[in-house]
Amino acid sequence: MLKTQIESLINEQANIKLIDVEKSYAQKHSLLNEDATIETIPLQFEVIERCNKETEELVAEETTSFLTKPVQYLKEHANEFMYVTSERFDVIRVDSFALEFDGAFGVYSALFGLRLQKKYSEFLHSYLKAHLQHEKMTYSAAFSGEDGLWEVNLALDALDGFSEQQSLDEVLAQLYSFVFALLEELETAV
């Protein structure tokens, strides 16, 4: 699962560029040559959009500088959600992330599709339940047979170390690491 994805990233590059969590995984599993040149890079995005929650119409396309804003921006603009894609999401089997402030529950939330077989339902639910702690809402996950993926909605507030003062790019990196850890644990369990 992850091993194949990380090996692919390493083999495709002369100068290996990995995100922190990928580098740690590659080192832990001895996937790197001793003489390999490794550059640690931040998560990069191809699409950064702000959209209207009601109509899903595009409000604005943003540049990476927008991601330096605190996640509190979503609360201040509760009628919007943020949508991001990254080529790197293929590593963690995610299509995209949508972030918003959920006024009904009073929490920040992330919505994403996770390409994972339905047979991993018990593992997915037990992992999310064990790693997300919040009094109002933690997560929902439903399998879509039509799309062949899990539609996951989780409270960012339930992530360990989350703060609304964090920048949007920090929260996205935290989400990436969270899903990466989920897949890593699944890989060792099967």
pLDDT band for 134, please (50, 70, 90 cuts). low
Which comes out higher in pLDDT, residue 174 or 12? 174
- Number of Cβ within a 10 Å radius of residue 12: 9
On the question of pLDDT at 146 being above 70, the answer is yes
Residue 92 DSSP symbol: T
pLDDT score at 110: 96
Which comes out higher in pLDDT, residue 10 or 151? 151
Q: For 89-122, what is each residue's pLDDT tens digit?
A: 999 999 999 999 998 889 999 999 999 999 999 9
Task: Give me 148's structure tokens.
Answer: 């062949």
Indicate the pairing of strand 94-102 with strand 107-114: antiparallel
On the question of pLDDT at 133 being above 80, the answer is no
Q: For 33-91, what is each residue's pLDDT tens digit?
A: 877 788 999 999 999 999 999 999 999 999 999 999 999 999 999 999 999 999 999 99
- The contacts of residue 91 (CB under 8 Å, 6+ apart) are 2, 5, 6, 9, 22, 180
Q: For 18-28, what is each residue's pLDDT tens digit?
A: 999 999 999 99
The structural domains of the chain, ordered by start, are: 2-40 (no CATH), 47-189 (3.30.1460)
pLDDT score at 137: 65
* Consecutive H or E run containing 71: none
pLDDT band for 1, please (50, 70, 90 cuts). confident
